[in-house]
Amino acid sequence: MTALTAARDLFASSFGHEPEGVWSAPGRVNLIGEHTDYNEGFVLPFAIQHRTYAAVAPRTDDRIRVTSSFARLTVECVLDDLESMFPVEYQGADRDVPEWSAYVLGVAWALRASTGSPAPQRGVDIAIASDVPVGAGLSSSAAIEGAVSSALNDLWELGLDPVALAQVGRKAENEAVGAPTGIMDQMSSMLGRPDAATFIDCRSLEAKSIPTGFHDAGLEVLVIDTQVTHAHSTGGYRERRESCERGAQLLGIRSLRDASVSDLPRAAEIMDDVTFRRVRHIVTENQRVLDTVAALTEQGPQAIGDLLVASHASMRDDFEISVAELDTAVDTALANGAIGARMTGGGFGGAAIALVSHADLQRVSDAVEAAFADAGFTAPHIFTVSPSEGPRRDA
């Protein structure tokens, strides 16, 4: 059963009638540019073919009901109650709804808060199903936010553009769920294009599609899901963000976007070792994003391998967000012919990506599976992804 069919069937079985439509949005893989988004820097993600589906129908009253294939229960409230439910403080205020539903209800709250217009009086029923792996660093959360915001944007006739909906998704994730993430995931999901990555300036929110050339070069992007789950709302992610903010303050700048590689010697003099290494990752990662865009544009995808490898080393050693499973995946892929490889996503688990020629795909996959077995790790989930389109109405 496809996730599209699952969403429609779940809606019918939960609410006793058919949805008015099904909207979907994709997950994403970040090609390069990790943790630079909340530092107002540069990122280069692409939307993937794995999607989250929201089957939705308007109601005649002011209630919102939400169910999901993640947990077979229905969460229900009055629309006006959302104002007292959110925002949730980063430090973790008590919340009366399960976290998965906070993504959905949080989007409804953020839409109402962002439009500045009288709240829509019609409630909605929503059923969610997805084929985006959860906890793998492929932004299943942004896919939920994109699908739900697209549906409500249409049904409530709000007329918001994709960038505005991305901002709504970030508000929901930051303030309703309590995950202090940047806007990369939402922008990538909302602006996805086939066969292209999205180069995003996270300060101005300007975005440009960059053809990847993977297909023409006979290359595949292999995702190695380590099965080590992570959660952005836990402490490690927040600590890294706080270190970045402290580093910017010590440098006397608005954000680390305003620092360059030439500033690193001074940073080393005025910061403790941990803060300096966090800063060094962000500053060098921003430069790697720019170098990757230039390499794709001028030389093609074969030229970006070393940049991917350097990115992983920086995340492993300076930002310290890798884990043994991710390092094993990257090292094994490179040893067996991958052009480049790196962990992708927020870290502390999740997935690695490897850029692999089609001819070497099976060899790399088999080698990674064997390396995980030898190390006693849980078997990884390995699959390919390709740059795909953003949100759409599927039915």
Residues known to be catalytic: 185
For 45, residues 6+ apart whose C-beta sits below 8 A from its C-beta are: 28, 29, 30, 31, 33, 184, 185, 187, 188, 197, 198, 200
Residue 55 to residue 273: CA distance in whole angstroms: 49
Rg for the chain (alpha carbons), in Å? 21
If we measure between CA atoms, which residue out of 133, 37, 211, 36 comes closest to residue 385? 133
In whole angstroms, how far apart are CA 5 and each of 23, 126, 128, 150, 389?
Answer: 12, 14, 11, 19, 19
Residue 215 to residue 353: CA distance in whole angstroms: 16
Is residue 230 within 8 Å of 188, Cβ to Cβ? Answer: no
Residue 148 to residue 154: CA distance in whole angstroms: 10
- Degrees (nearest 5) of the Cα angle 232, 320, 234? 20
Residue 288 to residue 50: CA distance in whole angstroms: 27
- Looking only at the bridges linking them, the beta strands covering 124-130 and 196-201 are unpaired
